[in-house]
Amino acid sequence: MEPCGSGLRLNSKLSLLPNLKKSSLFPSSSISSRPSVQSASWVSLKTPSRMTYLRGLSAQSKSSVEKVGDLISDRRDLVSAIKRKKLAVFVSGGGSNFRSIHEACVNGLIHGEVAVLVTNKTDCGGAVYAREKGIRVLVFPNTKGEPDGLSASDLVTALGSADIDFVLLAGYLKLIPSELVQAYRRSIFNIHPSLLPAFGGKGYYGMKVHKAVIASGARYSGPTIHFVDDHYDTGRILAQRVVPVLPTDTAEELAARVLKEEHRLYVEVTAALCEDRIVWRDDEVPLIRSKENSNEYS
């Protein structure tokens, strides 16, 4: 996959997710078996409570404790300095992942807000929830069943007018138009209920995926979050979470286990997106910088 026009590349093995300014670049470094670069001054890191630090430093001097306090304050300043991202979430059904992301935004776990909900079904559960929460709802695409739906070009215009930073697909069953993929290159993400590239592609969605996993005899499954390209489930993998497939599992039981991990994983990845913690290796593999340790990646 070619980097987009707005993307930036480091002299080392990692490049930043596009939309970061050159002034935000961190120093280069080489990659070993475990990718590592120097910490960037703009990166927001997870900030444990002051008491958590103090307990671990009880044997250290007062000056060391004061330094820790300064570090905590500096990290909090960095979090507030990062632009609060605007998200558009696409759903076709109940939207449980959408709800998890919205609640995490409201509770401050994600440095962003769901500004727009896009759906191909105006009466689906996700759309009803969005209207209840005062979130703008757009219908796409325009079909006989949804004559008020937007065209692809109108959708791109609407999202641009809303200043959307990232598009998150959460159970949206329509193929994303190429116009949107090009407009939001490396900024559209999907969650799939299997460990891609297994059990992915056209026709693999919902309970069909879990039935296929059980029928195959696979011992493990789990959600995958990947970048979206012009095809079903073929974009670069960003994150996965493994769950066991039990010998007595029904498709419904496996689906419930996977969905529980979906909710956790999508919130974690969305938080990383909104904190500018996604980087790219030279071989076009995206990585997530750890919030606790800026020299570790997953």
Q: What is the 3-state secondary structure (H, E, C) of the chain?
A: CCCCCCCCCCCCCEEECCCCCHHHCCCCCCCCCCCCCCCCCCCCCCCCCHHHHHHHCCCCCHHHHHHHHHHHHHHHHHHHHCCCEEEEEEECCCCHHHHHHHHHHHCCCCCEEEEEEEECCCCCHHHHHHHHCCCEEEECCCCCCCCCCCCHHHHHHHHHHCCCCEEEECCCCCCCCHHHHHHCCCCEEEEECCCCCCCCCCCCCCHHHHHHHHHHCCCEECCEEEECCCCCCCCCEEEECCEECCCCCCHHHHHHHHHHHHHHHHHHHHHHHHCCCEEEECCCCEEEECCCCCCCEC
Residues annotated as catalytic (active site), given as ranges: 192
**Does residue 141 have a cis peptide bond before it, meaning omega lies within 30 degrees of 0?**
yes
| Spatial separation of the C-alpha atoms in residues 46 and 57, rounded to whole Å | 18
24 phi and psi angles, rounded to 5 deg? -90, -5
| Spatial separation of the C-alpha atoms in residues 264 and 268, rounded to whole Å | 6
| Spatial separation of the C-alpha atoms in residues 98 and 110, rounded to whole Å | 13
The CA distances from residue 237 to 66, 163, 223, in Å, are: 41, 25, 11
